[in-house]
Structure 1
Amino acid sequence: MFGKTKTKDLTPHEVDALLKKGEIVLIDVREPAEFAAGRIHGALNFPLSTFDPKALPLPDAAKKVVLQCGSGKRSANAIEMCRRAGVDVDSHLGGGIMAWRAAGLPTTVFDPTSGAVRDAG
């Protein structure tokens, strides 16, 4: 599933299954305010505005790095940055968190009225 040549667009259900099996580290490249407003449970935030491919968790045989953003554009840009830096990351959530939500998968959201972090459908 993971390779070194072409960007791989993973579906929301593929990413969900890989997360549940513990086979990937999901990196959200949206900005901190976007991440705080709603995220995929378990994702780590590495904003594209300060993105450094060398700071990513190192992919290995047990866990690969998969990137994600709002629609898929910024994560594709981040994959290109990884390639230029010689970092082996080639997969992202095609369609981003918008596709994730459209697939009916849950997100974690921040409730500004209470300050609580909660799961959303």
Structure 2
Amino acid sequence: MSDPRDLSPAMVFDALKRQDVLLIDVREPAEFANLRIHGALLHPLSTFEPRAIPANPDRRIVFQCGSGKRSRMALDRFMAETGAEAAHMAGGIGAWKSAGLPCVSINPATGEVEDHGRY
């Protein structure tokens, strides 16, 4: 990955384990309810307000979506409006799942929440 703001799922996973990042999911509430990453905060792109993102100088802001497109849009807007540095997870939660990383999902057959491991 040539852009240092494009982080791989493995990089984000390791940073979450170290508590070095604040993961912001910019998907819509129904998407977030069905599948999410532990610790991610929901700030949908449809109602995105960059200045509402909680600032913490000790944790880098990382945006995440389904495929990487919306998170990149959120990243660009966040940086333009706040002047703060941030990053996004390239490939989104699709790449995260493909990498076999832990997530929380709803079983479509039972409606039960399934916790597929923590970081």
Deviation track 1:45-96 (CA, whole Å, cap 9, x = no partner) reads 0000000000001141x11110000000000000111122124143011100
Q: TM-score scaled by structure 1?
A: 0.86
Unaligned runs of 5+ in 1: 1-5
In the TM superposition, 1:51-62 aligns within 5 A as: 51-60=48-57, 62=58
Question: Alignment identity in percent?
Answer: 49
**Which residue of 2 is the match for residue 79 of structure 1?**
75
Q: Distance in 2 between matches of 1:53 and 1:7?
A: 20
Residue 115 (structure 1) shift: 4.6
CA-CA distance at 1:118 after TM superposition: 1.8
CA RMSD of aligned residues (A): 1.8
2:30 to 28, 33, 38: 33
Output the amino acid matched with 1:23: D
Which residue of structure 2 lines up, in the alignment, with residue 66 of structure 1?
Answer: 62
Quote how far apart the aligned CAs of 1:112 are. Answer: 5.4
**Unaligned runs of at least 5 residues, structure 2:** none
Aligned residue pairs: how many? 115
4+ long deviations beyond 2 Å: 110-117
Normalization by structure 2: what TM-score? 0.87
